[in-house]
A and B are shown apart, each in its own frame.
Chain A
Amino acid sequence: MSVFVHRDTRVILQGFTGQHATFHAQESMQNGTNVVGGVTPGKGGMTHLGRPVFDTVDQAVQETGAEVSGIFVPAPFAADAIMEALEAGIRVIVVIADGVPVQDMVRVKRYAADKHAVIIGPNTPGIITPGACKVGIMPSHIYRAGRIGVVSRSGTLNYETVQQMTELGLGQSTCVGIGGDPVNGADFVTVLRAFEEDPDTDAVVMIGEIGGPQEVDAARWARENMHKPLVGFVAGVSAPPGRRMGHAGAIIAGQSDTADAKMDLMEELGVHVVRNPALIGATAHRVFS
């Protein structure tokens, strides 16, 4: 199976006719993704990349039966686009936009509370089930189909991890970037739970970073609920406290918030912790074989 997105998943893109959406829609279609259409307000009725364009998500869902949406609209419009997708009954919403105001996401999460959808992001490279479905901006060629799940906050560190794994022959079931923002959709626990329930995932690699309690919360959850082995890394050992390291959420706020402190706690909770980011793949290889 894999998690969240699969071979037959019907995908639409919001902001479909924009430059990035066009490039990545094309790339993902070449790699097997079932893009069934897209939404650009004002361009309904057109055809783009051989697929229909709609004015609203509601129309797109009615006409195509879309279940998953990739949101490529600029950050100031992202909250509205996510709520539109939620209201239209989209099951998985992948928010690529970087720089969404934090309070917008606070409202989005409240709106999503009773909608039973999974929001991935914002500020995520997206989600990919190699060879089957990609909703995002990651370079498809570094991924290989396999049985290990990968979940990360950072996009490029997701690529780094995957390449290390692929080079050692470790393929991936699904790779998810949950994004680097302080208020975001799916957290590590949501994704770990999906991997735990997925019969085609044997083990999971979790890549965190400084800022917030997510990684340790996830490790605590995994000790109680997860039977599959978990390898973990937290970026930012060399980051100074009080400085925001690029991501809106990546800032050391207190003493228990440093990368080392988080990794120590994760280790105590039974996670196979990697301290050197260059050896994530090698550690996964050792632990999983």
Chain B
Amino acid sequence: MNIHEYQAKELLREYGVRVPPGRVAHTVDNAATAAEELGGERWVVKAQIHAGGRGKGGGIRVAGSIDEVRHCADQLIGRHLVTPQTGAAGRLVQRVLVERACRIHKEFYLGLVIDRGTQRITVIASEAGGMDIEEVAARHPGRIVREAVDPAVGLMDFQCRKIAAKIGLTGRQIPEATKLMQALYRCFRDNDALLAEINPLAVVDEGQLMALDAKMSFDGNALYRREQITAMRDFDEEDPKEVEATGHGLNYIALDGDVGCIVNGAGLAMATMDAISFHGGKPANFLDVGGGASPEKVENAFRIVLQDPSVRIILVNIFAGINRCDWIAEGLVQAMRDLKIGVPIVVRLAGTNVDAGRAILAASAFPFIMADNLDDAATRVMATLRAAPA
């Protein structure tokens, strides 16, 4: 689960990370008031959307007067911001963060991740701040410092000093960086974060270290014990179909093809998409109905897949382990009856209670196209699409 920059900064401030003085504004008037109250001569007005690359999309603007703050806010609030990560449609900006600008002397990168290589929380730092860290890692791996944290003792001060020295901090900046890294680590650990990124971390004004941008992402599986984080969820930033799917216990991700997919298990769902692609088709979505799928859940899966107008055919691929093919089949029949589905349905069933499942489909009056295995299913999808008028 992702949160906005302003939320990440509020959270980090609670833990003792220094961030610029700032206010959130939902209107142009609010933005101007915020700037007045913050004081100073220059302000930064930052669009609050979850997608990255805001700078490149014009979502971060510097204003030298209150009038300019108004102008910047007006250019952002209520408009769609297009960044390299939003797609062509962009993302609606509902609020901006107004911050007092500071003089930047040098920029660094500081991040915490759960590294799959070490299987531990790992600090990543670089003296190449403000840049895309993946690009730095690919081009100049020597400019990246990594330090894995032993969970038995937590992040140690000596590790922080080592990192600070390696990225070129000196003098009193080293103990200051140590304090900041410890605060960031505590925030990460105590809130079940998966990612915390300060980019840039900057040396500003009189030499203090400050988090000029902050990005955090949290473990959805741990939200049950993180009330404060759960309250920060912004559903407007998520695809409504994906939110609806989650509510039904389904895992749905919209893609841009025309073959709707309803599958159980993430791995098989990906492999089903791959099989379709291998045969020259394009999947319209990823959808995992999960384990223990009831007929109602299956019907809801159809409802969500069919909301996408580009879907021309649906492939149902179920390999039941903990699931039951007869329940899936009942859900299919129920969906056909209730939803008046106009597109062809190819069905492949295997595993637990497969014969009962096939019998239910055969006994129904609906024209399911039955497939024997994955290859047969993908082949039938493509043959049916080719035979149908576009």
Does B117 count as interface, using CB distance less than 8 angstroms?
yes
Q: Judging by beta carbons under 8 Å apart, are A139 and B266 in contact?
A: no
6 contacts between A and B (CB under 8 A): A101-B219, A138-B321, A156-B264, A159-B351, A160-B271, A238-B277
Q: Judging by beta carbons under 8 Å apart, are B266 and A213 in contact?
A: no
Which residues from A are CB-within-8-Å of B321? 125, 137-139, 155-156, 159
- Asked whether A250 and B291 contact (CB < 8 A) given A236-B274, A237-B274, the answer is no
The answer, among A20, A214, A239, A247, for a CB contact under 8 Å with B116, is A214
Other than A99-B221, A102-B114, A154-B266, give 16 A-B pairs with Cβ distance below 8 A. Answer: A105-B119, A137-B321, A160-B350, A160-B374, A163-B319, A164-B374, A211-B116, A235-B270, A238-B255, A238-B274, A239-B273, A243-B253, A249-B116, A250-B266, A277-B271, A278-B278
Q: Judging by beta carbons under 8 Å apart, are B268 and A157 in contact?
A: yes
A contact residues vs B (CB 8 Å cutoff) = 20, 75-76, 98-107, 109-110, 125, 137-139, 142, 152-160, 163-164, 167, 180, 182-183, 207, 209-214, 233, 235-240, 242-250, 253-255, 259, 275-279
Encoded as 1 (CB less than 8 Å from any A CB) or 0, chain B from 359 to 390 comes to 00000000000000111001000000000000
| Closest residue on chain A to residue B51 by CB atoms | A242
Which residues from A are CB-within-8-Å of B270? 154, 157, 209-210, 235-236, 238-239, 245-246, 250
| Closest residue on chain B to residue A277 by CB atoms | B271
Bound Cα distance from A238 to B189, whole angstroms = 34
**Shortest CB distance B379–A (Å):** 9
**Shortest CB distance B248–A (Å):** 15
Q: Judging by beta carbons under 8 Å apart, are B269 and A245 in contact?
A: yes
In residues 299-343 of chain B, which contact A (Cβ within 8 Å)?
319-322
Q: Judging by beta carbons under 8 Å apart, are B138 and A254 in contact?
A: yes
**Shortest CB distance B263–A (Å):** 8
Which residues from A are CB-within-8-Å of B253? 243-245
| Closest residue on chain B to residue A97 by CB atoms | B221
Bound Cα distance from A183 to B113, whole angstroms = 12
Q: Judging by beta carbons under 8 Å apart, are A164 and B350 in contact?
A: no
Q: Judging by beta carbons under 8 Å apart, are B268 and A239 in contact?
A: no
Q: Judging by beta carbons under 8 Å apart, are B319 and A101 in contact?
A: no
The answer, among A102, A110, A160, A248, for a CB contact under 8 Å with B268, is A160
Q: Judging by beta carbons under 8 Å apart, are B378 and A157 in contact?
A: no
Bound Cα distance from A101 to B226, whole angstroms = 11
- Asked whether A248 and B221 contact (CB < 8 A) given A102-B194, A106-B114, A276-B278, the answer is yes
